[in-house]
């Protein structure tokens, strides 16, 4: 991977290799950090990078810190300026994935609430090949951890241990992605993605109390499905066998965008090809994030 020249670290744009924490800091010892993954979409015609739904990411970033009882960090204005400065310093002219992280630095106890460090990286990130070809999914034997164990709603570094176990199992078993069930045996989410299905023409996704991260892409899919396709999403429990009955299944997230799932446990979803509603949602989504569509300007923050 080609690394960028600069990163943001505790108030300054610094050379990439200057973003260091101590190996015995709480963030390294216990994963005591929270983060956001944000995409900046390059629009070649306008020579512009648009950050997608930055306000919503900042809101979730603030919630994660509040739930973790972190001391106050930089303001939303300072963070927005940092993102802009970082993309400009690296002179990006491509689609990027930004990771913005607040973490407990220095030597500290498990219950330390500060000092809070801030680090931001931006790396070029293209769309995966699964977005067009579709992905094979495995129902993981790992369970999504419940809210009163490790809340998935908080975007905390340590939560990704659960996701990683499922990723490793799926990869070693020859699948593209894992789907996790929750402690009630109902569909929860995928590692870094939320899941939708189309059944009887209806768009359905596990509800917000299914041990999911309240995904911004999930919210966007629900909004654009209603606005442009007249489809109102039903949020309800989803059984694993419904994924076999479904006409279409897809997962979504900032990194994954909207990716069709073409098989679950090697059983074809629908015809085994990406579905029509999934394809329409993909096109609507990509037009909005890149600014090719001028609708919803409130969702795009320009870098240049
Ligand atoms: N679930 C988890 C666990 C995630 O890490 C992510 C990625 N942020 C998502 C879902 C998708 O969320 P979003 O659409 O906000 O990127």
Q: What DSSP assignment string belongs to 256-278? A: TEEEEEEEETTEESTTSS--HHH
* Residue 148 sits in the same domain as residue 239: yes
* Residue 112 sits in the same domain as residue 149: no
In this prediction, residue 8 carries a pLDDT of: 98
Residue 1 falls inside a structural domain: no
Ligand 1 atom with least separation from CA of 57: 15
* Residue 198 sits in the same domain as residue 270: yes
Centroid of ligand 1 to alpha carbon of 32 (angstroms): 18
Question: Which residue has the least CA distance to atom 3 on ligand 1?
Answer: 192
* Residue 88 sits in the same domain as residue 237: no
* Residue 14 sits in the same domain as residue 88: yes
Centroid of ligand 1 to alpha carbon of 194 (angstroms): 7
Beta strands at 257-264 and 194-199: parallel, antiparallel or unpaired: unpaired
**CA dist 285 → 41, 69, 270, 281 (Å):** 12, 34, 22, 6
Rounded Cα gap, residues 163 and 144, in angstroms: 8
Centroid of ligand 1 to alpha carbon of 163 (angstroms): 11
Residue 302 falls inside a structural domain: no
In this prediction, residue 108 carries a pLDDT of: 80
Residue of 298, 285, 270 lying closest to 197 (CA atoms): 270
Residue of 163, 116, 145, 303 lying closest to 210 (CA atoms): 145
Q: Which of the listed residues 101, 124, 147 is the one where a domain comes to its end?
A: 124
- Structurally, how many domains does the chain consist of? 2
Domain of 157, CATH number, reads: 3.20.10.10
Q: Which of the listed residues 105, 124, 143 is the one where a domain comes to its end?
A: 124
Q: Which of the listed residues 89, 124, 159 is the one where a domain comes to its end?
A: 124
In this prediction, residue 27 carries a pLDDT of: 96
Name the H helices within the chain. 26-30, 54-67, 76-89, 130-133, 160-172, 216-229, 242-245, 276-290
* Residue 139 sits in the same domain as residue 119: no
Rounded Cα gap, residues 253 and 271, in angstroms: 24
Residue 297 falls inside a structural domain: no
Contact assessment for residue 193 and residue 256, using Cβ atoms and an 8 Å cutoff: yes
* Residue 78 sits in the same domain as residue 173: no
* Residue 192 sits in the same domain as residue 115: no
Q: Which residues of 144-157 are buried (b: 16+ CB within 10 A; e: fewer)?
A: bbebeeebbbbbbb
Question: Which residue has the least CA distance to atom 2 on ligand 1?
Answer: 192
Residue 301 falls inside a structural domain: no
Ligand 1 atom with least separation from CA of 191: 3
Domain of 105, CATH number, reads: 3.30.470.10
Q: Does residue 104 have its Cβ closer than 6 Å to ligand 1?
A: no
Q: Does residue 151 have its Cβ closer than 6 Å to ligand 1?
A: no
ipTM of the prediction greater than 0.85, yes or no: yes
Residue of 216, 206, 228, 205 lying closest to 279 (CA atoms): 228
* Residue 151 sits in the same domain as residue 283: yes
Q: Does residue 134 have its Cβ closer than 6 Å to ligand 1?
A: no
In this prediction, residue 2 carries a pLDDT of: 81
66 is known as an active-site residue? no
Rounded Cα gap, residues 266 and 272, in angstroms: 10
Q: Does residue 259 have its Cβ closer than 6 Å to ligand 1?
A: no
Residue 295 falls inside a structural domain: no
Supply the range of the domain harboring residue 61. Answer: 6-124
Q: Which residues contact 24 (CB under 8 A, 6 or more apart)?
A: 107
Encode the chain (304 residues) as per-residue pLDDT tens digits. 788 999 999 999 999 999 999 999 999 999 999 999 999 999 999 999 999 999 999 999 999 999 999 999 999 999 999 999 999 999 999 999 999 999 999 888 889 999 999 999 999 999 999 999 999 999 999 999 999 999 999 999 999 999 999 999 999 999 999 999 999 999 999 999 999 999 999 999 999 999 999 999 999 999 999 999 999 999 999 999 999 999 999 999 999 999 999 999 999 999 999 999 999 999 999 999 999 999 999 999 999 9
Q: Does residue 193 have its Cβ closer than 6 Å to ligand 1?
A: yes
Residue 40 falls inside a structural domain: yes
* Residue 70 sits in the same domain as residue 147: no
Q: Does residue 54 have its Cβ closer than 6 Å to ligand 1?
A: no
Token couple for 61: 């970033």
CA dihedral angle for residue 207, residue 161, residue 256, residue 10, rounded to 10 degrees: 110
Q: Does residue 7 have its Cβ closer than 6 Å to ligand 1?
A: no
Residue 69 falls inside a structural domain: yes
* Residue 204 sits in the same domain as residue 119: no
Centroid of ligand 1 to alpha carbon of 182 (angstroms): 16
Write the Ramachandran bin of 257: left for phi over 0, alpha for psi from -120 to 50, otherwise beta.
Answer: left
Residue 296 falls inside a structural domain: no
* Residue 138 sits in the same domain as residue 117: no
Question: Which residue has the least CA distance to atom 11 on ligand 1?
Answer: 253
Contact assessment for residue 135 and residue 256, using Cβ atoms and an 8 Å cutoff: no
Q: Does residue 36 have its Cβ closer than 6 Å to ligand 1?
A: no
Catalytic residue among 66, 155, 186, 294: 155
What letter does residue 5 receive in the DSSP assignment?
S
């Amino acid at each position: 991977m080609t690394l960028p020249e600069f990163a943001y670290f505790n108030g300054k744009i610094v050379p990439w290799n200057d973003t260091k924490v101590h190996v015995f800091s709480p963030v390294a010892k216990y994963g005591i950090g929270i983060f956001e993954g944000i995409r900046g979409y390059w629009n070649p015609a306008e020579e512009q990078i648009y950050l997608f739904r930055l306000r919503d990411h900042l809101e979730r970033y603030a919630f994660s810190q509040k739930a973790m009882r972190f001391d106050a960090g930089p303001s939303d204005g300072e963070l927005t300026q940092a993102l802009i400065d970082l993309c400009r310093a690296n002179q990006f002219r491509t689609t990027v994935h930004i990771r913005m992280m607040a973490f407990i630095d220095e030597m500290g106890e498990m219950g330390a609430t500060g000092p809070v460090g801030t680090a931001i990286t931006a790396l070029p990130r293209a769309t995966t090949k699964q977005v067009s070809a579709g992905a094979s999914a495995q129902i993981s034997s790992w369970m999504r951890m419940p809210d009163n164990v490790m809340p998935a709603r908080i975007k905390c570094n340590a939560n990704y241990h659960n996701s990683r176990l499922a990723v490793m199992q799926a990869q070693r078993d020859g699948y593209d992605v894992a789907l996790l069930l929750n402690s009630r045996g109902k569909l929860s989410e995928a590692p870094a993605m939320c899941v939708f299905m189309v059944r009887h023409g209806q768009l359905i996704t596990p509800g917000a109390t299914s041990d999911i991260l309240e995904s911004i892409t999930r919210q966007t899919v629900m909004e654009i499905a209603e606005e442009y396709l007249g489809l109102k999403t039903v949020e309800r429990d989803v059984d694993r066998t419904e994924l076999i009955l479904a006409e279409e299944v897809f997962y979504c997230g900032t990194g994954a965008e909207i990716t069709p799932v073409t098989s679950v446990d090697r059983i074809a979803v629908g015809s085994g090809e990406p579905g029509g509603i999934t394809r329409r949602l993909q096109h609507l989504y990509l037009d909005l994030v890149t600014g090719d569509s001028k609708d919803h300007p409130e969702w795009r923050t320009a870098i240049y």
